[in-house]
Structure 1
Amino acid sequence: MTFFHKSPWAALACALLLSTASAQTQPWRAWSDALPRPALEEAQDKVAELQATACGESGNAGALLAQLENHLGNASPLSPQALQAALDSAGLQPPAQRPVALSLSSALAHAQAWLEQHDPAGLKALAASEDARSAAKAKAAALEATLLNKPNAAAAALLTAHRLDPKDAETLVNLGGALVVLALPNEALAVLDAANQLPLPIGGALGWSPQAVALNNRGVALLDLGQAGSAEPLFRQALRLTPDLVEARSNLARALACTGKTAEAATLLRASGRRTAQPTPATPGTPVTPTGVPPAEVTSDDDPEGTEETTRPIEWAFDISHGKGVNLPNLKLPGSPKEALELNASYGALSTTLVGRVHGLAQQQSQLISSLGAQRLGEPPLVQLRQAALDAALVQSRREPRIRSLWTATEQADREVQRVIDGFNQEFSGFYAQTAGQVDALPRLQALCIPAMSSATNSWRAAMNLYATRLAKAAEAQYRLETGLAANSSDSQWHLFASLTAEHTAVNSYATLVNSAAQWTGLVTTLATVCVESETTSLVQEVAGPLHTPRADLCSGTMDHLSLSVSIKVVQISVSCDKASLKVASPGWIGAFGKVDKSFTSGDVTVSAGAEIGAEVPLTSAGIKAAGGFYVTLNAEGEFKDVGVLAEAKASLSTKVGPVKIGSSVKGLSGRWSLIAGSSH
């Protein structure tokens, strides 16, 4: 899914919406949720563009005039008559049509005539195929045609399905969406009016309502007829039914732009690049567990008040359940100034080792960066976006609300350690000033400093214990998050880079703790002659065990049980880890239809699917009502633009369309599906 679509006419989304057994929301992942929210200025510019080009006949007049004057080199304004003459001579037509009330029979006849004019060979091939023999086969063929970016073939198959089963409301809703895509909005409205007289099922896979789809399709038809004011409440109602219907969100933004509600339009446009609806802000630091509604989004560093969200929490956008934990070794702390003297050399040696390890990790990361950029150039656009989102998540891992709260607590504890050190330094300065110049200055200074040093060591040790505890929690949480991100990648080089990043986090954190210990023992050593009752020799000894940094496994196809493999007759869809692909077999009669001109459709397609309700599971005594499914969004070239997978219980179900593997499950698909028309712009 992209933030703004540049195509001039109708965008198409196809959703295979299937009933779920439970109204409870299930965990799921939408790749687009990992994308950052665009800047407000970009959205405001887009609103201005929509007002100039996407608001029907009146909204387009100024833009058409400017374009034609520029094209014709005419320095003076064109009159309406001159504009129409220029349009006619250029073979152009204003994009907005006049609203015309049609009966269902007239609308179907017009649609058939349009297809006979543009694709007679395709109609003939369809009529001779097995798919024209039953409504179920015709509907399944329309799904396949949509996936192949052939809305004309989809419309033909849906007309066939309607003739065979005229009481199927979803077929009419689908047909209405296809007619919108083919720039036949009056016909679409008549078809949707007829669908409204028939019962539509309630609920669908991923919670997307068929009623919301119908409302959205009607709204787009009205938009394309220049009726933005009438379309607006339809999109609002669709979003109340299905907040994650991002197509209705972007369509509403267009309607608002056309009715002058520019501020709300910009807000909606900023949210239209991501599938999941805007979440309700959660309490800062609340652990994130995706269960249908994502928590508050992460704010940028230049927005200290937290009013400007930019990205969704990592744990919402990615599966980090395979992350590994790390335990920072217990660091031996001195219980007295004398023990501080004994441990000083050991802290110094350990610090040197840790700093060398940190530098080595940074060097390995630096060597990987250049090769990572080069190998991504050949990847499909969505895969590149996914990998870029993983990059961004890795960079911002410390800013995640849950992680950030742990580091904030750690920093507070560190400041207490420094307060103790600074306090003793000030206290010693006072002792020195008090005894300076006296004949017995040294014994007087020792009498003051030795008990003060002993007391300060106790305070420092207590502060260090708290600091070490909090540091271990923060480092463990960030390490688990970063190794969890590494487990999302099937790219061995990026997996290594992320693993090195996590190791760098852990080692550098522990080095900071050791340096704090060395700072105190170094101070004690410096003042030993006056502040330590009996000096001792500092020998290198073991003050901590080894720091082990386990790595997560390379992603090999399954994460969160959200990998996906789907075969629907001529189309095979595969999604796993950070890869997604679509393969097409011989399209059969669908291939006889020509490709629809870009002035009619963007070619975008979204397919959402789930298990057939009540399907019987082998080896069980009863049928189950399984929740779970997926959606994919494809562009005109058949490349993925967005994907999402819904988690569900493992099961094997019968199938009507083809095998669907979600994680380790095999589920059946019902014959229900819906076309969701997107905005013309």
Structure 2
Amino acid sequence: MNRLNRLFPLAVALLASPALAAGGWVSLSDQTILGPEAGMRAQVAKLRTEACQPTVRDYKTPGLAPVGGLDIDEVIRSLEKMLATFKPGDPARAGLEHSLKMAREQKENGTKVLPLPVRREKGAMTFETALRTAETLVGARGRKATGGSSSDVVAALAAESPRAALALLLAGHRAKPKDAMTLVNLAGVLTLAGLPREAIAVLDRAAELGGKLPTPGGVPGQAIALTNRGHAFLGLGRWSEAQAPLKQALSLAPDLSEARMNLSKALLCNGDVNGATRELRVALRRTIAPENSDLILKEKTPGRHGDGVGPREQSPTRRPSASLFDLSRGATFDLPQLKLPRTRREAIVMHSQYEALEQQGHAILRALGVRASAVNLSQVLDPGEMRWFKLVNGAITTSIFEPEVWPAHKAAYDAHYALDKARRPLADQRNKTIEAGMARLASVPHTCADVDTVYDDAYQTYMDALRPYLKGQEQAMARYVSARVKFETALAANLPDPAVRASKRAQIEASAKAMFYGPVVYGGVFFSEVPSLFCTEQTLPGVPLDLAELPTLDADPCGGMFSGAKVKSKVPSPALKAQGLGLSFSLSCKKVDIELSTSSLMGTDWLGGFASASLDWNGNATLFTGVKAELKLPKGVPVTGGIGAKEGVYIKFGKDGIEDAGMRVELKGSLGAGPDASTGLWEGKIEQEFGIAAAAAYWRER
């Protein structure tokens, strides 16, 4: 739940970054799966005690437990101590006694915290006092800061150092005291640092400066300021007052999920669980769309497929995959037809072939399972790619509910259940026919050929009646598998890593072939279960199965391409103006990466700036810029290696515009045994993104 309280101001601070270009949002969080509304409402209600805690701190006493104002017990003790210093008859004593009486009554009524005054209330903090408080918090060292870019502020927040971010923003204010947007950002970080009363004073000054605020990322700056104000009121525990600015922010920017998240919390802490749940469900996605357009991800009848979907209010839902993913690269997958015996005698011959085919299918499915699980995702994907993988994989695992797949899914299982329903009565009728025939033979002399005739006739009637059901199931399953594979492979093509893509295609192939080796082949097995001939000297016909080879999903858009190549260069000579400037270029089946960096900031050879661009083969691009530090083992030691860190802001672009933006932190380490890292013993990488879209997706993370 701590993440719930921390993500709101963090996301708002990011939105205020001028590094974000204007553009439409296509957020990853739009694919968030919403749980059943009743269940979510119960979850929200349980979180009230934990979530509804003010977050005001005493900057002079680090580590002091957060409170929403003045502790009532401390107030009473202070008043009692002050009262003891007044003599009876002192004119001020009566007022002090009245204040003490009121405080004791409030404590008896359950009050634990007295709210702090804000804005024009008596005793409200001034802008100058708020700045002094912030300056005190950052300390003498922080007051020496001379300014920093928005990426520096984001890097400080990524390192969970609001003091450093405050120092940079205060320096920015000193450089541009009339810049209202700097004050809006400063207010967001003040609340994050536990100083929401100061944040409101700063926001008041920003409003007094007037002028139109910029629109970072296409979001009106005024909406960001209102969101910061609402969040500051939440920090003070003033739940009702937080609602008005948050609602105003949403009227300016309906897609501003952070404002809606804050509004959800304000409603919850004010006792409106239904309203909090309603706003939360909207806030969990970046863009707004009616929930009734969501796919229902639950079948109506437990244990029975294709019988319809469950009630919307009792089912998890998500938006159709077409709203986020490219579905243009699906693969074709046509199941072959399975030959069925025409007579009892052909069934005797073909039964063992069906059983062998069934065993062969088990072996094929086991091999595909090994291929599907061969990739260790944590070693192949960075955190951002892992988040994307989970979205793609979630869409694949629930693909049957997509409009492109559901009709075929329903038809396949309708045919399967129709076969299952018809099989038993037809078998019973067959057995009765055999019993009646054998009863007739029992009263007259007969041969083994007569017995075989009774069985041949009964099974012929049975097989002729059952065959349409088997063929109906086979054809419906083939259409279902074709639709499902095309849709799921189109989804899998959105995965950027070729190894992960291959493992997912193996999983899809296994699921498709299971539908053949399961219902279809098993249908041939039980259809051909007939008694052997009674006249054993008779010759049975040779009937080959003639089964066409099942298709595979081995083909990949990156098939045959080299795994990757990387080139790095650096200007080495101090005599050159560009000394320390480096360029790296890498190309792989996964993506193209270009980075320009310098290692000469502040007169050091280990701290520098960088700017990188990454373009994958699906047309997605990521820009990442900030500061980096690298420390390497000295030359002459028997091993090579070092550690490095990057902090900065990133923007992700898709075909329809900006998909996500935020801050990213990368940590890398390597250890080599040879003259360079290419003969390394170990190399590791840790990466964490703090994205705007991720802020709205946190609820559903498992």
Is the TM-score greater than 0.5?
yes
Q: Which residue of 2 aligns with 1:29?
A: 28
Encode CA deviations 1:344-403: one digit per residue, 9 max, x unaligned: 64574255235334334336636985x867x73898766666666666666555566754
Deviation of the 1:325 alpha carbon: 2.2
Q: What is the CA–CA distance in structure 1 between the aligned matches of 2:66 and 2:249, rounded to whole Å?
A: 35
Q: Match for residue 240 of structure 2?
A: 229
Is the Cα contact below 8 Å between 1:571 and 1:584 reproduced in 2?
yes
Equivalent residue letter for 1:118: V
**SS at the partner of 2:144?**
helix
How many Å apart are 1:518 and its aligned residue?
1.4
Greater shift, 174-183 or 410-419, is seen at: 174-183
Give yes or no for the alignment of 1:118 onto 2:138. Answer: yes
User: Is 1:192 equivalent to 2:203 in the alignment?
Assistant: yes
Report the counterpart of residue 359 of structure 2 in structure 1: 355
Deviations 1:247-284 (Å, cap 9, x if unpaired)?
22332232123212234435656776x4436753456x
One of 544, 547, 554 as aligned partner of 1:540:
544
Which one-letter code corresponds to 2:660 in the other structure? F
Counterpart for residue 619 of structure 1: none
- Over 3 Å counting, the alpha-carbon distance change for 1:251 and 1:409 in structure 2 is same
Q: In the TM superposition, what whole-angstrom CA distance separates every residue of 1:439-474 from its partner, at most 9, and x where no partner exists?
A: 689999999998887676565444444423321232
Residue 213 (str. 1) matches residue 224 (str. 2): yes
Matches of residues 2-81 of structure 1 in structure 2 within 5 Å? Answer: 4-5=3-4, 11=10, 13-15=13-15, 16=17, 18=20, 20=22, 27-30=26-29, 33=32, 42-51=43-52, 53-54=53-54, 81=76
What corresponds to 1:179 in structure 2?
A: 190
Residue in structure 2 matched with residue 287 of structure 1 by the alignment: none
In structure 2, relative to structure 1, the CA distance for the partners of 1:147 and 1:393 (3 Å cut) is: same
State how far apart, in whole Å, the 2-side matches of 1:479 and 1:348 are: 30
The correspondence for 1:254, drawn from 258, 261, 265, is 265
SS of equivalent residue, structure 2 residue 480: helix
1:101 correspondence with 2:120: yes
CA contact (8 A) 1:29 1:317 kept: no
- Quote the residue 1:630 is aligned against: 660
Q: Provide Cα deviations, 1:424-443, integer angstroms capped at 9, x if missing partner.
A: 32332443455553368999
CA-to-partner distance for each residue in 1:271-316, whole Å, 9 max, x for gaps?
76x4436753456xxxxxxxxxxx3352489895453444646837
1:527 deviation in Å? 9.2
**2:519 is the alignment partner of 1:471:** no
Unaligned residue ranges in structure 2 (runs of 5+): 58-63, 82-111, 303-308, 564-585, 598-607, 630-646, 668-685
Letter matched to residue 504 of structure 2: A
Whether the 8 Å contact between 2:29 and 2:286 is mirrored in structure 1 is: yes
- 1:331 is aligned to 337
1:280 equivalent in alignment to 2:265: no
Q: How does 1:431-450 map to 2 (within 5 A)?
A: 431-432=433-434, 435=437, 437-438=439-440
Residue type of the alignment partner of 1:426: D
Q: Is 1:246–1:276's contact at 8 Å kept on the other side of the alignment? A: yes
Q: Going by fraction, where is strand more abundant, 1 or 2?
A: 2
CA shift for structure 1 position 42: 4.7
Mapped partners of 1:567, 1:36: distance in 2:
44
Residue 239 of structure 1, CA deviation: 3.9
In the alignment of these two chains, the number of paired residues is 564
**2:138 and 2:167 in contact (8 A); partners too:** no
Cα 1:367–1:425, aligned 2, differ >3 Å: closer, same or farther? same
How far, CA to CA, are the matches of 1:610 and 1:579 in structure 2?
6
Give the letter for the 1:358 counterpart: H
> TM-score scaled to structure 2, two decimals?
0.61
Deviation at 1:171?
4.0
- Give the conservation status (yes or no) of the 8 Å contact 2:610–2:626: yes
* Separation in 2, partners of 1:297, 1:565: 42
**1:428 corresponds to which of 424, 427, 430:** 430
The match for 2:579 is none
Contact 1:572 1:583 in 2 (8 A): yes
Question: What is the deviation of 1:216?
Answer: 0.9
Task: Give TM-score scaled by structure 1 length.
Answer: 0.62
Compare relative contact order (CA 8 Å, sep 6+) and give the higher one, 1 or 2: 1
Q: Letter of the aligned partner of 2:232 in structure 1?
A: A
Query: What is the rounded CA distance, in whole Å, between the counterparts of 1:517 and 1:576 in structure 2?
Result: 49
CA distance in 2, matches of 1:315, 1:455: 47
2 CA distance for matches of 1:558 and 1:112? 51
Aligned-partner Cα distance in 1 for 2:362–2:329: 21
* Aligned partner of 2:627 among 557, 582, 585: 585
1:387-425 superposed Cα distances (whole Å, 9 cap, x missing partner)? 666666665555667545532321101222334433432
Query: What do you get for the CA RMSD once the two structures are aligned?
Result: 5.9
Report the secondary structure of 2:662's partner residue.
Answer: strand
Distance of 2:2 and 2:292 partners within structure 1: 25
SS, match of residue 45 in structure 2:
helix
Q: Which residue of structure 2 lines up, in the alignment, with residue 654 of structure 1?
A: none
Q: Is the contact between residue 298 and residue 400 of structure 1 (CA under 8 Å) also seen in structure 2?
A: no
1:107-146 alignment to 2 at 5 Å?
107=127, 110-111=130-131, 114-115=134-135, 118-126=138-146, 142=153
Letter in structure 1 aligned against 2:554: P
Query: For 1:176-206, what per-residue CA distance to the aligned partner results, in whole angstroms no more than 9, with x for missing partners?
Result: 323333444344334434555745479763x
Q: Does 1:511 align with 2:517?
A: yes
Name the residue aligned to 2:688: 640
Aligned to 2:98: none
CA contact (8 A) 2:223 2:252 kept: yes
Cα distance 1:151–1:32, how it changes in 2: closer, same or farther (>3 A)? farther
Which residue type is aligned with residue 472 of structure 1? A
Q: Bigger radius of gyration, 1 or 2?
A: 2
Quickly say closer, same or farther: Cα 1:628–1:257, change in 2 above 3 A.
closer
Q: What whole-Å deviation, never above 9, does each CA across 1:196-254 have from its counterpart, x for those lacking one?
A: 5745479763x644343222111012222332101123323434554543322332232
Q: Is the 8 A contact 2:286 2:693 kept in 1?
A: no
2:414 aligned to 412, 435, 444, which one? 412
Question: What corresponds to 2:97 in structure 1?
Answer: none
Over residues 546-582 of structure 1, what are the superposed CA-to-partner deviations in whole Å (9 max), with x where a residue is unaligned?
A: 43333545798999x9999898994657788899997
How far apart in 2 are the matches of 1:49 and 1:456?
A: 67
Residue type at the aligned position of 1:98: P
The answer to whether 1:315 aligns with 2:315 is no
Change in CA separation of 1:126 and 1:106 when aligned onto 2, cut-off 3 Å: same
Aligned equivalents of 1:178, 1:416: Cα separation in 2: 64
Q: 1:463 to 1:151 in 2, by over 3 A?
A: same
Cα pair 1:420 1:456 within 8 Å, conserved: no
Listed as ranges, the matches of 1:77-92 within 5 Å are: 81=76
What does residue 632 of structure 2 align with? none
Alignment of 1:370-409 (within 5 A): 376=378, 396=398, 403=405, 405-409=407-411
Give the Cα separation in 2 of the matches to 1:626 and 1:378: 27
The amino acid of 1:329's aligned partner reads: L
Which residues of 2 match residues 480-495 of structure 1 at below 5 A? 480-484=486-490, 486-487=492-493, 495=501
Query: Percent identity of the aligned residues?
Result: 18
**Cα 1:482/1:529, change in 2 over 3 Å:** farther
The secondary structure found in structure 2 opposite 1:307 is helix
Is the contact between residue 664 and residue 687 of structure 2 (CA under 8 Å) also seen in structure 1?
yes
Alpha carbons 1:158, 1:171 under 8 Å: kept: yes
Give the aligned partner of residue 369 of structure 2: 365
